[in-house]
C-alpha cells in the first residue's frame, strides 16, 4: 500500500470504523452480547452501537488492541502501515515523529501491534522436514567481559523451528527452568512438540540437548558444523537465515530489547516471515481481536 492509497482508503475516522466493521463482522455490525444485527450506530460517537433487541451498548473495538484508545484511528492505521513497510520494523522514536504523538504513545502502539502479530489461533502444525536451532539475544560481548559467545553466554536463548515445505517459522524465548537451567533436552522437546507432528524429520546441529530426540518418534538427523557446513539436505541454513534477519532487526532498529518483551519482538519477526506473501495489513486487523 502506498501513501496515496492509504489516504484514499482512510480519509476520515468514520472510514476506518467502517473498514474495521468489515474485518470484524464481515457484512454488518452485530451485538457483541446477543448477536443481533438490529444495531444502530451513534452519530456523535460512531465507535459505539446500541442493540435494539437486548438494549446493550457496545463498542466495535471491545476486546481488541484498539480498546480504550484516545489516539486518532487514522494514526493507528498509518502506524500499522509504516510498521509493515519497514522490513525490519520501525522504532518508537521514528513513529513518534511520523504520526505526531508522544514517545510513550508510539511505544504503546507498537507494543499493541506486536500483540496482534503474536495472536495466532489454530497454529498449523509442522511436518515432513523441519530445522531446529537456537540463538542468543542480548547485546554483543565487550572486551574484558565474561559474557561469552554461543552456548556459554549470559544472553537469552531463543529456540526456533522452520518447516521447509510450508516456509513457516516458530520461535520461542527459552527461560530458565526452576533449577536455573536453559536449553535442557526436555525444554527443547517441549517446544518441538508444540508445533511439530510426530514422525517428522528434525535436523539439528550437534548440541547434546538434542540427543533427547533420539528416544522419540521423531527422525533426528544432525549436522556437525566443525567438520562440514552441509551435506545435501542435512543442514540448518533456513533457520540460521531467520536468525540473521531477527538480529539485524533488533540490533539495527531497536538496539536493545529487554527479556520481558523479547518474545513479542520474536513474534513480530515470525509474523513477518510467515506472512510475507499475504496481506499483512488486513491480517493484523483480524488478529487484533482478542
Look over the chain and give the mean of its residue pLDDT values, rounded to a whole number. 89
Top-confidence residue, 143 or 73 = 73
In a domain, 86, yes or no: no
Are residues 265 and 114 in contact, defined by beta-carbon separation less than 8 angstroms?
A: yes
Instruction: Establish if 101 belongs to a structural domain.
Output: no
Q: Domain limits at 190?
A: 129-257
Domain closes at, from 30, 47, 62: 62
pLDDT over threshold 50, residue 144: no
Question: Dihedral of CA 61/66/68/74: which sign?
Answer: negative
CATH number at residue 20: 2.20.25
Q: What is the pLDDT of residues 226-283, one digit of tens each?
A: 665 555 788 999 999 999 999 999 988 888 888 999 999 999 999 999 999 999 999 9
185/233 Cα distance (integer angstroms) = 24
Does 133 share its domain with 250? yes
Q: Are residues 236 and 149 in the same domain?
A: yes
DSSP 140: P
Confidence (pTM): 0.89
CA-based R_g, the chain, Å = 22
Residues 138 and 20 in one domain: no
Paired residues of 171 in beta bridges: 160
Q: Is residue 118 part of a domain?
A: no
The predicted structure's pLDDT at residue 177: 80
The model's pLDDT over 10-67, given as tens digits with 9 standing for 90+, comes to: 999 999 999 999 999 987 899 988 989 999 999 999 999 999 999 999 999 999 999 9
Instruction: Report how far residue 201's alpha carbon sits from residue 129's, in angstroms, rounded to the nearest whole number.
Output: 5
Four-CA torsion 146, 152, 156, 159, nearest 10 degrees: 160
> For residue 152, what pLDDT is reported?
59
Q: Can you tell me the distance from the alpha carbon of 144 to that of 165, in angstroms, rounded to the nearest whole number?
A: 44
**Quick check: 197 pLDDT over 90?**
yes
Q: Contact, 284 vs 159, CB < 8 A? A: no
**Between 142 and 202, whose confidence is greater?**
202
Can you give the pLDDT at residue 182?
81
pLDDT, residue 270, reads: 96
Q: Please, which residues bridge with residue 161 across strands?
A: 132, 170
pLDDT at res. 255? 81
* Contact yes or no for 58/32 (Cβ under 8 A): yes
89 in a domain, yes or no?
no
CATH number (domain holding residue 179): 3.30.420.10
Question: 148 and 49, same structural domain?
Answer: no
Sign of CA dihedral 227, 230, 234, 238: positive
Among 62, 83, 98, residue at a domain's last position: 62
Q: How many domains does the chain have?
A: 2
Helix, strand, coil shares, percent, the chain, to 5: 40, 15, 40
Q: Is the pLDDT of residue 139 over 80?
A: no
In this structure, the answer to whether residues 148 and 43 fall within a common structural domain is no
pLDDT digits (tens, 9 = 90+) for 91-123: 999 999 999 999 999 999 999 999 999 998 878
Whether residue 150 is contained in a domain is answered as: yes
Last residue of a domain, one of 11, 40, 62: 62
For residue 91, being part of any structural domain is answered with no
Amino acid at each position: 500500500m502506498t501513501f496515496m492509497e492509504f489516504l484514499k482508503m482512510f480519509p476520515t475516522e468514520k472510514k476506518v470504523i467502517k473498514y474495521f466493521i468489515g474485518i470484524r463482522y464481515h457484512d454488518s455490525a452485530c451485538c457483541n452480547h446477543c448477536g443481533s444485527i438490529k444495531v444502530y450506530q451513534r452519530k456523535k460517537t460512531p465507535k459505539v452501537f446500541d442493540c435494539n433487541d437486548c438494549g446493550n451498548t457496545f463498542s466495535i473495538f471491545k476486546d481488541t488492541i484498539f480498546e480504550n484508545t484516545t489516539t486518532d484511528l487514522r494514526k493507528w492505521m498509518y502506524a500499522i502501515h509504516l510498521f509493515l513497510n519497514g522490513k525490519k520494523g520501525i522504532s518508537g522514536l521514528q513513529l513518534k515523529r511520523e504520526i505526531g504523538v508522544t514517545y510513550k504513545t508510539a511505544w504503546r502502539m507498537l507494543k499493541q501491534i506486536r500483540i496482534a502479530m503474536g495472536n495466532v489461533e489454530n497454529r498449523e502444525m509442522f511436518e515432513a522436514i523441519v530445522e531446529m536451532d537456537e540463538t542468543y539475544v542480548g547485546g554483543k560481548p565487550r572486551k574484558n567481559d565474561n559474557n561469552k559467545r554461543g552456548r556459554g553466554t549470559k544472553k537469552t536463548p531463543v529456540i526456533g523451528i522452520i518447516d521447509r515445505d510450508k516456509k513457516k517459522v516458530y520461535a520461542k524465548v527459552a527461560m530458565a527452568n526452576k533449577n536455573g537451567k536453559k536449553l535442557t533436552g526436555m525444554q527443547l522437546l517441549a517446544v518441538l512438540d508444540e508445533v511439530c507432528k510426530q514422525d517428522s524429520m528434525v535436523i539439528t546441529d550437534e548440541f547434546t540437548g538434542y540427543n533427547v530426540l533420539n528416544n522419540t518418534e521423531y527422525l533426528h538427523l544432525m549436522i556437525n558444523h566443525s567438520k562440514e557446513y552441509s551435506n545435501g539436505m542435512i543442514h540448518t541454513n533456513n533457520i540460521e537465515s531467520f536468525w540473521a534477519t531477527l538480529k539485524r532487526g533488533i540490533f539495527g532498529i531497536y538496539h536493545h530489547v529487554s527479556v520481558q518483551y523479547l518474545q513479542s519482538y520474536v513474534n513480530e519477526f515470525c509474523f513477518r516471515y510467515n506472512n510475507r506473501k499475504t496481506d499483512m495489513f488486513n491480517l493484523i486487523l483480524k488478529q487484533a481481536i482478542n
